[in-house]
C-alpha cells in the first residue's frame, strides 16, 4: 500500500485516519505511510481506544498549577508601585535632556 497522507484537511482527520489505518495495517506500516514514529501512532491509537473521538482532539498545554506564580495581592501592589515610579532612562539621560 503506497498511499501517502501528507495533506489532510485538519489534524483531527489526520489522527482519525491514522488510527483507522493502524487498526487495519498495524503500527509499523501506518507509521511509514503517515511518516510519523511508531510511538506517535500508538499514542493516538491508545487515546482513541480509551476516550473515543474526544481523545483525538488537541489538549491544552497550560500547566495545571504554577508554583512560582505571584499572589494576586502582591501582583496588584507591584503594578501600583510601577505606576508611581518615574520612567527608567539610559545612564546620563534625564526626562528633560542630557545631563
pLDDT for residue 69:
84
Please count the other Cβ atoms lying within 10 Å of the Cβ belonging to residue 33. Answer: 19
- Position 5 in a domain: no
- Position 74 in a domain: no
Q: What is the pLDDT of residues 74-97, one digit of tens each?
A: 999 988 888 887 777 777 666 665
What whole-number distance in Å separates Cα of residue 96 and Cα of residue 99? 9
- Position 80 in a domain: no
Place of cell 494576586: 72
- Position 77 in a domain: no
The dihedrals phi and psi of 30, each to the nearest 5 degrees, come to -65, -40
What whole-number distance in Å separates Cα of residue 53 and Cα of residue 2? 26
- Position 38 in a domain: yes
Q: What is the pLDDT of residues 14-67, one digit of tens each?
A: 999 999 999 999 999 999 999 999 999 999 999 999 999 999 999 888 888 888
The number of domains in the chain is 1
In the numeric block, which cell numbers belong to residue 66?
Answer: 504554577
* Whether pLDDT at 99 is above 80: no
- Position 72 in a domain: no
Amino acid at each position: 500500500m503506497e498511499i501517502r497522507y501528507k495533506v489532510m484537511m485538519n489534524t483531527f482527520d489526520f489522527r482519525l485516519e491514522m488510527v483507522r489505518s493502524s487498526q487495519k495495517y498495524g503500527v509499523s506500516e501506518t507509521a511509514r505511510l503517515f511518516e510519523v514514529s511508531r510511538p506517535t501512532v500508538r499514542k493516538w491509537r491508545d487515546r482513541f481506544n480509551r476516550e473515543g473521538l474526544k481523545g483525538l482532539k488537541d489538549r491544552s498545554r497550560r500547566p495545571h498549577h504554577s508554583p512560582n506564580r505571584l499572589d494576586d495581592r502582591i501582583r496588584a501592589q507591584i503594578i501600583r508601585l510601577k505606576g508611581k515610579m518615574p520612567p527608567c532612562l539610559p545612564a546620563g539621560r534625564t526626562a528633560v535632556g542630557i545631563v
